[in-house]
């Protein structure tokens, strides 16, 4: 018998500043997954964004920005379940229930928490510390089998797998242990100015971060000034992080692999190579920006899309929560 189709779940934070790393590492995987998944669920994770200082009035706007970016990138609400996390209250209930099988030590080991708080650990919100439990609830509520994410989420997915295993061992087989899915090329797109650090919404350089909504001029400027090295070979190597990053970006834009890009640019200087990368990124993101401009003004339509998705999501999550509650000894 053929394998059943996967249940796919992934979440993305609400900001209008989605970058090329988010697009390559996550968003294009979402679009690919919507015909494979049964269902594929994608969620704007607004509850996660309260883990750092934020402006409530701004939050709703950023959710709509993000929703419009994802729809512009190719998400089709007819082929996937697309919704806002806070509309499905089951996520917060399951977070609390799963905390029974999550240890303080588990959360204390999360490198993303350590990187984000730096030395200001005592001032960090409890929500930031708890973020991986909410992320586990997001996925486990749908008994997802696949979680498409970028490489930076590897540790969080490992933890949710462990939480599911522990729950099943303690309360009986209930939750599905999901598989991490990271893209073969582009799982970690690096900052163009600091290619040793990942391209990031909060931590990167302005010039080294290509935004999905950047216009052609901005894209060409940022890619044109990307840091390379003192050599001249277009070759992926550990000691050539800048060039390797550009090779990955072009490979994704052209739908090929590293080897094909290296072969195409054998003997070509960095200047021409960067121009080709800029062309590729403009082709990749240009249509998304144009479609975004059309979709973003119609807030009522965006809200209606998210509300319809939430209703479908809730129907699935409610079944899981009911079973989890029963297993844990709560009334129905």
Binding residues for ligand AQP, rule: CB under 6 A, are: 12-13, 21-22, 24-26, 149-150, 152-153, 187-189, 198-203
Alpha-carbon distance values, 259 to 20, 204, 264 (Å): 21, 28, 9
Q: Which is nearer to ligand AQP, 94 or 189 (CB)?
A: 189
| Min separation Cβ 154 and ligand AQP, Å | 8
Residue with the CB atom nearest ligand AQP in the bound state: 25
| Min separation Cβ 172 and ligand AQP, Å | 31
N residues, the chain:
332
The helices-and-strands tally (H runs, E runs) of the chain is 13, 5
Q: Which is nearer to ligand AQP, 150 or 242 (CB)?
A: 150
Q: Which is nearer to ligand AQP, 17 or 325 (CB)?
A: 17
Q: Which is nearer to ligand AQP, 43 or 317 (CB)?
A: 43
| Min separation Cβ 77 and ligand AQP, Å | 19
Distance CA 131, CA 237 (A): 34
Q: Which is nearer to ligand AQP, 111 or 225 (CB)?
A: 111
Closest CA to 132 of 117, 111, 146: 111
| Min separation Cβ 191 and ligand AQP, Å | 8
| Burial zone of 18 (CB within 10 Å; 0-12 exposed, 13-18 middle, 19+ buried) | buried
Question: 140-175: string of b/e by CB count within 10 Å (b at 16+)?
Answer: bbbbbbbbbbbbbbeebbebbbbbbebbbeebeebb
| Min separation Cβ 112 and ligand AQP, Å | 7
């Amino acid at each position: 018998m053929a394998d059943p189709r996967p249940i796919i779940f992934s979440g993305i934070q609400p900001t209008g500043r989605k970058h090329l790393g988010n697009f390559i590492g996550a968003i294009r995987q979402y679009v690919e997954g919507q015909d494979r998944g049964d269902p594929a669920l994608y969620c704007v994770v607004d509850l996660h964004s309260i883990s750092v200082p934020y402006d409530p009035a701004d939050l709703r706007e950023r959710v709509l920005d993000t929703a419009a970016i994802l729809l512009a990138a190719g998400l089709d609400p007819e082929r996937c379940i697309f919704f806002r996390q806070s509309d499905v209250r089951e996520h917060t209930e399951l977070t609390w229930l799963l905390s029974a099988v999550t240890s303080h030590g588990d959360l204390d080991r999360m490198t993303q928490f350590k990187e984000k708080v730096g030395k200001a650990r005592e001032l960090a919100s409890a929500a930031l510390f708890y973020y991986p439990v909410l992320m586990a609830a997001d996925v486990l509520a749908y008994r997802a089998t696949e979680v498409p994410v970028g490489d930076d989420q590897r540790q969080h997915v490992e933890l949710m797998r462990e939480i599911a295993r522990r729950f099943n061992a303690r309360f009986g087989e209930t939750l599905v242990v999901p598989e991490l899915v990271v893209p073969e090329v582009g799982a970690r797109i690096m900052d163009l100015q600091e290619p040793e650090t990942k391209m990031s919404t909060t931590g990167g350089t302005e010039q080294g971060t290509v935004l999905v909504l950047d216009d052609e001029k901005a894209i060409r400027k940022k890619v044109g000034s990307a840091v390379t090295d003192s050599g001249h070979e277009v070759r992926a190597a550990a000691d050539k992080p800048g060039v390797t990053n550009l090779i990955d970006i072009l490979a994704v834009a052209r739908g090929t692999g590293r080897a094909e890009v290296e072969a195409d640019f054998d003997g070509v200087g960095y200047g021409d190579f960067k121009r080709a990368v800029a062309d590729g990124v403009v082709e990749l993101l240009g249509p998304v920006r144009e479609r975004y401009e059309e979709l973003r003004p119609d807030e009522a339509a965006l809200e209606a899309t998210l509300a319809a998705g939430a209703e479908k999501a809730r129907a699935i999550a409610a079944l899981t929560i009911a079973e989890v509650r029963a297993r844990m000894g709560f009334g129905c």
